[in-house]
Structure 1
Amino acid sequence: MPRSSFSGGFSSPKVDLIVDMGNPFLNLTLDGFLKIGTVAASKVVAEETYHVVKRGSISSHNFEHSLKKMCKESAYWGSVAGIYVGVEYGAERVRGTRDWKNAMIGGAFTGALVSAVSNNNRDKIVMDAITGGAVATAAEFLNYIT
């Protein structure tokens, strides 16, 4: 039976904003904050655009609500990413090696911290730490698949 396959690749434009804070830890943390914060803001813009198209109009109240939601989501997800990247880098520096365990430590710490700030109980904080560590570790392993 004939087979066909797709050979090729997709690439997206790469945009780098370089802000030198004078410290690699701060540079990476800010970079994570800005990149993921931008993704979160873009997500909200897409969702709100869909709602405007569905309604057929936009009011100044809806526009203001959308802008506030965009800023809130951007700050939240940017902060989570900044914490994760900072802790992963810190673990790398303390351990003296770059491997999947740093991602696990960063994910677990970030999951626990975000859960604790959300006023969750101890069991939920532990579960969120486990989930954060597992997701970060899985993402790190996916980076190594060729």
Structure 2
Amino acid sequence: MFRKTASYLSALVLAVVLAACAAPGQQAGEVQIRTGVIEQITMVQLPSNHHSGVGAVVGGLAGVGIGSLIGAGTGRDVAMVAGAIGGAFAGNEIQKKYDQPVPGQQIIVRASNGVLVSITQPVNPNLFQGQRVYIEGYGDGARVVSR
């Protein structure tokens, strides 16, 4: 009797917790789409999407691998350390060439409910001030697209 009651109570608590986590009015996997008019477009620089330090890590690992092929014993250990340091330096320098800011736009949209929404995204040359647009998504994933 006690186990059955505890089981029902646990199921009820789980259902309440899951219902509280759900976004009101939106099902999982749905994308929210709002409409509006572009009030202002400002050109900005977006940070690169390359992960900093990856070049150094990959270069260091490659240097260790190449250094392990050289010599034997202590000489091999020295070659591995030198390869790791040299590879890390070279990998970091190579990554710097590709780690440049990307042109973007900060777009201010007056939504159909009167609220101003600011979205920063990569450049879309098809957008202009006064244009009617859709705002897809929300938060960091929001994008402005032409209607």
- TM-score by structure 1 length? 0.33
Larger fraction in strand: 2
Task: Pick the structure with greater CA Rg.
Answer: 2
Highest RCO, 1 vs 2 (Cα 8 Å, sep ≥ 6): 2
More helix, by proportion: 1
